[in-house]
A and B are shown apart, each in its own frame.
Chain A
């Protein structure tokens, strides 16, 4: 006899409490007493794409600004922030991504009020002490140095540069370059923060051993009087594919293995084809041990330890790509085999069994994705970010079930291209 789980219900609009502050901040709370911990996860509408409005030579400004937020606030010094959070075993982080700046914290529930206060201080009232900003800059420069010695990082940078045209934010390194890391000023950081950090569009998800009432009081006390406004955001430029195959190899002496990535710009997460694309991509490069790619390139020929395919998705036209690590002598063979698998997907689609297996995988893995507070918070964040509705997880099995074999073949033909793509290798 298997006992019924204490709470097997999926997060939905009935068990997710939600409210908005007067300044527009949207708050969602999922109460869960399975462990004595609380996870806070959210984002605000400031990101790497915004730094391009601050003139040339500002690559990495969004990321650097977010990294400096916890270097000191109007109430706490850098030392106090880390002494306080680490002394209670908690963690807090803020980091810029392309479209948003994400923030989060995890603590015992008794310490959640302190974590909300620290996050609010860092987001709203950073003071950017010049000595601390210079320490952060030195760490940034070191990270960029280390990046030049990573085949994965160098491959990824070139891939973005070739896939997206100059002027498109995806073309550039979100972490900046050595030259911009040296030239970005403290004033740039202050101006970026003052111009793009604001409550409009900000979302906060709280999961764990805490009541919605307590969260409401905490959010009101710490964010209720925030009245900043952000500058208008530029639209993303259109992306047109460059015809033919563009190959680039980055020579990195001393490396045993070469990283390979090939692909092209694809679709945003909000596109109606997303679910069919996700299922098709799972068959191609994810299911089990790297899907069909794993069968052909790893199991049959033993050419790689890892290989996979992914749609980046996101709010813009994120890329589709196939990635692998292989011996320098087998790069061409990996490319040949993975292109052949992709072409087979376009020409012959998937079998009934493959579609059924992958549908079951998509719905069957939901309980695992929802086991932790972080997992639940991530799902709620996704539902809000992509406007899926808070009952998305209830509807999810039907959405998966509705996809057909024809849909998968159609999206493979629409969104994958084996003749016009970018291929980068580094090693």
Chain B
């Protein structure tokens, strides 16, 4: 990290040496990534499975997320309460998350307790139990989870926008699944999904923190190397056809606040234009935090905040660009201020979009996007949990070097690239516009 001195002689430089990641593939197909970080006596273990809502179809939507819940229900060796208890009593944190492309389990532990996490993860990779009684009690837990999301208008709007934006690809349904599928899901379907996707050949393990890499690799080999490779996961063959015209959905609901989302078909993470889209998003909506667990900076100086928030049309504006396996969406979301209309906000958004398509962005805007990202890198990789997260996340759609190359790729983006990508992506024929119209504002 290049240092920059000021009158107080303060420089941004590192005194803690950070090692390069090590990548190993075991004979059973399991990929292992290790990164030593000795700044704090903490180590994290992530287990990533290449399964998410992308691998589902109508009738079993939400099954990947439900399997994630069942992974906490225990094995013949560790019952549910025991798994929780053993990790927590050592001061560890554990959780899991299911997304469109993956399911990830993690334990962040005091460094000298990480062996426990290895033992539990190696066990539940192949021995998770699907007892009928527990499937049933989890059914109402998950329906409760969905109802919690439904309480927020933004979830209902997002669900409708996704459904309209994807006619063919399974990215069109929410990770939590449709409520009808949550009612009809069977124990056998869950067990079959687990048997299909939970195996060494379909998994990536990342460990980051205070350990010796050779020692850690030996432990992981012992714990995971004994498992059979497992079946080959079925490929996802769906390809979303090119959208040929604007789509528009309206959700009516309670409250007095209206919301607007515009979602454009966007390239996958490995596409050459992905980083130009990241730069464009930074200019339009501000820099995204690179911590999966929050962070980032405010976006008050971004173009769309000035055009919408400073003028009192919108309470906030956000942009969403995510690295995905298949082509996904670039979305712009705004909360409409009381007394203003959704169409006023939409018109202003289109004005700004046409401006960036016609005139591009300035050198100083691009430089700002790069500097913001450099800072977010420093903040976002501070914890072992985040480091392991990025290593594994990148393996889901590319490989771990994608993250290392993030800054160089961004620095190579030109002004012309950003303008070209703005013209390609922010296309009126490729947009899905979603409106949440609050009942108090009908008419």
Q: Which residues of A does B touch, CB under 8 Å? A: 1-3, 5-8, 33-37, 78-79, 82-83, 85-91, 106-110, 112-113, 135, 138-139, 141-143, 145-146, 148-151, 209-211, 214, 217-218, 252-257, 287-289, 295, 298-306, 325-327, 356-358, 360-361, 363-368, 370-373, 427
Nearest chain B CB to A299 CB, angstrom units: 7
Q: Does B108 contact A (CB under 8 A)?
A: yes
- A255 adjacent to B375 (CB under 8 Å): no
For B372, give its contact among A89, A252, A298, A372 (CB under 8 Å). Answer: A89
Encode B67-103 as 1/0 by CB contact (under 8 A) with A.
0000010000000110011011111110000000000
Nearest chain B CB to A359 CB, angstrom units: 9
Q: Contacts A86-B300, A295-B81; is A209 near B12 (CB within 8 Å)?
A: yes
Which residues in A have their C-beta under 8 angstroms from that of B245? none
Which residues in A have their C-beta under 8 angstroms from that of B212? 1-3
Nearest chain B CB to A334 CB, angstrom units: 10
Give 24 CB contacts A-B under 8 Å.
A1-B212, A2-B112, A2-B211, A3-B212, A8-B41, A34-B39, A87-B368, A91-B298, A145-B257, A146-B255, A150-B151, A151-B151, A209-B13, A211-B10, A255-B150, A298-B141, A302-B139, A356-B89, A357-B88, A361-B91, A364-B110, A365-B91, A371-B383, A371-B384
- B93 adjacent to A365 (CB under 8 Å): yes
Q: Contacts A34-B382, A86-B287, A89-B371; is A360 near B89 (CB within 8 Å)?
A: yes
- B140 adjacent to A86 (CB under 8 Å): no
**Beyond known contacts A86-B287, A112-B10, A149-B438: 10 more, CB 8 A cutoff:** A5-B111, A8-B40, A86-B301, A89-B373, A89-B374, A106-B379, A142-B335, A149-B255, A302-B138, A356-B89
Instruction: Select from chain A the residue with minimum beta-carbon distance to B141.
Output: A302
Q: Does B242 contact A (CB under 8 A)?
A: no
Nearest chain B CB to A292 CB, angstrom units: 11
Instruction: Select from chain A the residue with minimum beta-carbon distance to B134.
Output: A299
- A360 adjacent to B91 (CB under 8 Å): yes
Interface size class of B (residues with CB under 8 A): 35 or more
Which residues in B have their C-beta under 8 angstroms from that of A326? 144
Which residues in B have their C-beta under 8 angstroms from that of A151? 151
- B310 adjacent to A135 (CB under 8 Å): yes
A44 to B420, CA, bound (A): 49
Which residues in B have their C-beta under 8 angstroms from that of A299? 80, 137
Which residues in B have their C-beta under 8 angstroms from that of A368? 42, 91-93, 108, 110
For A371, give its contact among B11, B42, B215 (CB under 8 Å). Answer: B42
A36 to B286, CA, bound (A): 22
For B88, give its contact among A6, A356, A361 (CB under 8 Å). Answer: A361
Most buried by B among A151, A327, A372, A427: A372
Nearest chain A CB to B8 CB, angstrom units: 5
Which residues in A have their C-beta under 8 angstroms from that of B210? 2-3, 5
A284 to B210, CA, bound (A): 33
- B91 adjacent to A305 (CB under 8 Å): no
Most buried by A among B4, B12, B72, B374: B12
Instruction: Select from chain B the residue with minimum beta-carbon distance to A89.
Output: B375
Instruction: Select from chain A the residue with minimum beta-carbon distance to B80.
Output: A299
- A5 adjacent to B40 (CB under 8 Å): yes
A133 to B93, CA, bound (A): 42
Which residues in B have their C-beta under 8 angstroms from that of A78? 300
Q: Does B184 contact A (CB under 8 A)?
A: no
Which residues in B have their C-beta under 8 angstroms from that of A257? 144, 147-148, 150-151
Q: Does B337 contact A (CB under 8 A)?
A: yes
A83 to B253, CA, bound (A): 37
Within 8 A of A (CB), among B359-381: 368, 371-376, 378-379, 381
Q: Does B7 contact A (CB under 8 A)?
A: yes
- B337 adjacent to A288 (CB under 8 Å): no
Which residues in B have their C-beta under 8 angstroms from that of A298? 141
A303 to B81, CA, bound (A): 18
A8 to B59, CA, bound (A): 51
- B136 adjacent to A302 (CB under 8 Å): yes
Q: Does B338 contact A (CB under 8 A)?
A: yes
Nearest chain B CB to A225 CB, angstrom units: 18
- A364 adjacent to B151 (CB under 8 Å): no
- A149 adjacent to B372 (CB under 8 Å): no
Instruction: Select from chain B the residue with minimum beta-carbon distance to A146.
Output: B257
Encode B8-40 as 1/0 by CB contact (under 8 A) with A.
111111111000000000000000000010111
A78 to B310, CA, bound (A): 10
A7 to B40, CA, bound (A): 7
- B301 adjacent to A79 (CB under 8 Å): yes
Q: Contacts A86-B299, A357-B89; is A37 near B151 (CB within 8 Å)?
A: no
- A107 adjacent to B375 (CB under 8 Å): yes
Instruction: Select from chain A the residue with minimum beta-carbon distance to B215.
Output: A1
For A87, give its contact among B41, B148, B372 (CB under 8 Å). Answer: B372
- A86 adjacent to B144 (CB under 8 Å): no
Within 8 A of A (CB), among B138-165: 138-148, 150-153
Nearest chain A CB to B155 CB, angstrom units: 10
Which residues in B have their C-beta under 8 angstroms from that of A2? 111-112, 210-212, 215
Q: Does B5 contact A (CB under 8 A)?
A: yes
- A86 adjacent to B297 (CB under 8 Å): yes
Instruction: Select from chain B the residue with minimum beta-carbon distance to A214.
Output: B8
Which residues in A have their C-beta under 8 angstroms from that of B256? 145, 148-149
Instruction: Select from chain B the residue with minimum beta-carbon distance to A135.
Output: B312
- B14 adjacent to A33 (CB under 8 Å): yes
Which residues in B have their C-beta under 8 angstroms from that of A365? 91-93, 110
Which residues in A have their C-beta under 8 angstroms from that of B247? none
Q: Does B113 contact A (CB under 8 A)?
A: yes
Q: Contacts A256-B150, A361-B91; is A86 near B384 (CB within 8 Å)?
A: no
Nearest chain B CB to A190 CB, angstrom units: 23
Most buried by B among A86, A106, A287, A365: A86
Which residues in B have their C-beta under 8 angstroms from that of A217? 8
A89 to B407, CA, bound (A): 14
- A357 adjacent to B338 (CB under 8 Å): no
